Amino acid sequence: MKAINDYIVVDQVKEGPKKVGGLLMTDATDSDNRYKKAKVVSVGNLADIIKEGSMVMYDKHAGHEISFEGSSYKVIKLRDVVLAE
């Protein structure tokens, strides 16, 4: 699987429950978070500032889901990435 142009294929990182102010925050209660963390799987030829294997934060409403060889990935555009490590 290879992304093209300014698209990036990411694998969303499942973050475990965390405590905020003594309350346990799960995925269901943490819906106010606008950004999701993911690992970059494939980078298109026009998205040269992001490298495969990098961790990124992207807008949770961006892109669309795809399935490839039994795994689920998200395809987003470079402009939807807000932070990169």
Q: In whole angstroms, give the CA distance from residue 50 to residue 37.
A: 14
CA nearest 58: which of 48, 50, 66, 69?
50
Structure confidence by residue, pLDDT tens digits, 49-75: 999 999 999 998 999 999 999 999 999
pLDDT for 52 equals: 95
Give the other-Cβ count within 10 Å of 74's Cβ: 20
Is 73 among the domain residues? yes
pLDDT for 26 equals: 64
Whole domain around residue 49: which residue ranges? 7-16+25-84
Is 2 among the domain residues? no
Average pLDDT over residues 37-46: 96
Is 74 among the domain residues? yes
Which residues have CB under 8 Å from 21's CB, separation 6+? none
Average pLDDT over residues 12-28: 70
The CATH number covering residue 29 comes to 2.30.33.40
Domain count, the chain: 1
Average pLDDT over residues 2-22: 84
| Mean pLDDT, the chain, integer | 87
Is 1 among the domain residues? no
